[in-house]
Amino acid sequence: TNILNLSLADEQQTLALGSKLAQSFGAATIIFLHGDLGAGKTTLSRGVVQGLGHQGKVKSPTYTLVEPYQVGGWQVYHFDLYRLADPEELEYMGIRDYFTPDSLCLVEWPERGHGMLPAADMDITLQYEGERRVARIEANTPVGIALLEKLSA
Ligand code: ADP
Ligand code: MG
């Protein structure tokens, strides 16, 4: 199957999922992160970037739209498109230059960039479940399916 549901009891478990993703990348990957404000999208991204070996802070790119990292042999781009007024703005950012054959792209609020973003290998939707969160992970491409298989192993 191409869908995995995980229950995340606390922030640590969300960070651990990010770390597991970090250990599992085998090719350039695009992951869309869905969910309401506070659902844990940035926390999961932090888990990925730190899991790849980044020692410093991972701050939310709310105002910068994208935060780049070079870590673990990857070029990582962490996007937060929440404040994007118009998908066309991505054109001026040179959006195509980010989605390269050696980059890992994590995109919060991809809906705001509708029509301007390449297709995602994986969609992760985070939802509130009381104090916990539930992650619904869906793989859309061979790259996404390979990643999902490593996550469920
Ligand atoms: P988003 O980027 O989706 O707006 P953040 O990751 O910035 O969300 O914030 C998530 C908030 O929810 C943090 O304050 C975090 O401590 C809290 N939290 C509680 N439980 C969890 C969980 N299981 N996973 C992630 N964050 C959690
Ligand atoms: Mg966020």
For the cut 90, the answer to whether the pLDDT of residue 133 exceeds it is yes
Residue 29 Cβ < 6 Å to ligand 1: no
**Pick from 39, 41, 14: nearest CA to 129:** 39
For the cut 90, the answer to whether the pLDDT of residue 75 exceeds it is yes
**Mean of the pLDDT values across residues 10-34?**
98
1 pLDDT band (50/70/90 cuts)? confident
Predicted TM-score (pTM) of the model is 0.97
Of residues 102 and 140, the one with the higher pLDDT is 140
Instruction: For residue 34, list its beta bridge partners.
Output: 125
Dist. CA 41 → ligand 1 center (Å): 7
Residue 45 Cβ < 6 Å to ligand 1: no
Choose which residue among 11, 112, 133 to substitute to test ligand 1 binding: the one with the highest number of ligand atoms within 8 A of its C-beta: 11
**What pLDDT is stored for residue 153 in this prediction?**
87
